[in-house]
Amino acid sequence: MTEQSNDDKGKKRAVLFSVQTHGVSDQENESSLLELRRLVKTMGLEVVATLTQRRSKVETGTILGAGKLKELASYTGGKGIVEGFSRKSSDKGRDNMAENYPVGPLANNNVEADVVVYDGEISTKQLQNIERATGVEVLDRTYVILEIFNRHAKSRESIIQVEIAKLAYLAPRLRASRIGGDRQGGGVGSKGIGETSYELNKRHIRDRISELKLRLVGIRDEQNRRRSRRSENFQVSLIGYTNAGKSSLMRKLTGSDVLVEDKLFATLDTRVKSLQPEGFPPVLVSDTVGFIKKLPHDLVASFQSTLDEALAASLLLFTVDVSDPAFRSQLAVTQSVLKEIGGEKIPSRLILNKIDKLTTGELEEITREFPDGIFISAHNPKGVAFLRKKILGYFESNMIETTMVIPYDKGHLLGQLRTKASIINESYDETGTNLRFKTFPETLTWLQQKMG
């Protein structure tokens, strides 16, 4: 698959590769690569090509067989061979099998990639060898996921959890990378690092991990504080598997389609934005990192802690891709993880997205199964408007509708009230401003006190 758009100019270019071993279906391999592709894009790289090798097993030293390794290197300008590396005789000859099995049409190789990304976990040895063969930085699935968690980590706890996972991942690979030094944070383990400093760094990492774990214990009560803040927050949080359409919905709901690009380098948090057009109350929408199918076990804790920002929301929007045959089990996993991190009491709504991909019959059937679900397509403005109404409706259901006359000598209250209520009707007579409005009980109490 080759593609290049204007948006991608100046981005690092990546080639993805996978090994499809026996027992892994074409569909599994493709959906895994598709997910990796999205993760890599989320990381800010442009994906220029994808290649898959079918073999009975992953090659011990180089993941790919010799032929496929050359093909990979043809994208990066590398030699495609690992000098001084001899393959085990038992591995020989295997890669002739379906050597050119592509996922999508193969590129014509006039693209120069800066990074190769393996859809799996790479050992230190494999990393070194593939770097030698391709001459570029080599990443694996775990690293990409860690990078994304890193960006999504917001609470102190999640930042620490992600750092622990990152250190644990990097420690054994310290000496391995000779090219991608910058990804190891502050140049740790970069080019030409010696044995002594390697040992030093290893100890350094161990100490740092212990320190971080201690800090984790100290900040658990932060969660409680966050939950108490929730009542003042008109915030909804989109959660669900990656690819469900959370970010699309977020963009459509908040009109941040254009803004996202503009603010890429701003320090502003791009994952929390206000619902547009603004209504009352002013609702914030937040996106979450999203569940990942092949989440490596070591990353579970850091994943869950990036989710705890969702716990600050007053309403959760469980989002599923209704056209994915696995959506029911994905929903169950999402709900049970949320329960584990203490979010089961937060009110929620189920959004069944991508109905445009269903037949009328399928849609009818699923509607019967989830009578309370919100069925929409993020690609359909009507659907998005419907969801917005549902969100505002949730907050409105806690509001009271009332009428009141604000005397002209209390006119200063009017301005304040406008920010705290949804005004339905407004008229004037000799007694003052006659208002019909909807607001929260607390605001009504506040107003009654001010009126004396």
Tokens representing 225 are 């504080």
Q: Would strands 421-429 and 432-439 be described as parallel, antiparallel, or unpaired?
A: antiparallel
Tokens representing 288 are 């979450």
DSSP helix/strand/coil, 231? helix
Range in contact with Mg ion (rule: CB under 5 A) among 195-203, 242-250, 322-330, 440-448: 242-250
Q: Which is nearer to Mg ion, 39 or 165 (CB)?
A: 39
According to the binding rule CB under 6 A, does residue 230 interact with ligand GDP?
Answer: no
Residues 334-353 that bind ligand GDP (CB under 6 A): 353
Residues 297-336 that bind ligand GDP (CB under 6 A): none
Closest distance between ligand GDP and the C-beta of residue 295, in Å? 14
Residues 99-138 that bind ligand GDP (CB under 6 A): none
Are residues 390 and 372 in contact, defined by beta-carbon separation less than 8 angstroms?
Answer: no
Task: Name the strand (E) or helix (H) holding 179.
Answer: none
Q: Which is nearer to ligand GDP, 128 or 348 (CB)?
A: 348
Q: Which is nearer to ligand GDP, 54 or 354 (CB)?
A: 354
In the list 18, 74, 128, 247, the residue contacting Mg ion (rule: CB under 5 A) is 247
Closest distance between ligand GDP and the C-beta of residue 251, in Å? 8
Closest distance between ligand GDP and the C-beta of residue 341, in Å? 19
Q: Give the whole-angstrom CA distance, residue 178 versus residue 184.
A: 11
Residues 6+ apart with CB under 8 A from 298: 142, 165, 168, 169
> How far apart, in Å, do the first and last CA atoms of the chain sit?
70
Residues 236-275 that bind ligand GDP (CB under 6 A): 242-248
Q: Give the whole-angstrom CA distance, residue 133 versus residue 80.
A: 4
Closest distance between ligand GDP and the C-beta of residue 185, in Å? 26
Residues 6+ apart with CB under 8 A from 366: 322, 352, 358, 373, 375
How many chain residues touch ligand GDP (CB under 6 A)?
15
Residue 14 contact partner, candidates ligand GDP, Mg ion, none, CB within 5 to 8 A by sort of partner? none
Residue 245 contact partner, candidates ligand GDP, Mg ion, none, CB within 5 to 8 A by sort of partner? ligand GDP
According to the binding rule CB under 6 A, does residue 151 interact with ligand GDP?
Answer: no
Instruction: Look at the alpha carbons of 3, 4, 7, 12 in this order and tell me if their dihedral is positive or negative.
Output: positive
DSSP helix/strand/coil, 146? helix
Q: Could you tell me where the DSSP H helices lie in 81-154?
A: 124-134, 141-152
Closest distance between ligand GDP and the C-beta of residue 321, in Å? 7
Residues within the interface to ligand GDP (CB under 6 A) = 242-248, 290, 353-354, 356-357, 377-379
Residues within the interface to Mg ion (CB under 5 A) = 246-247
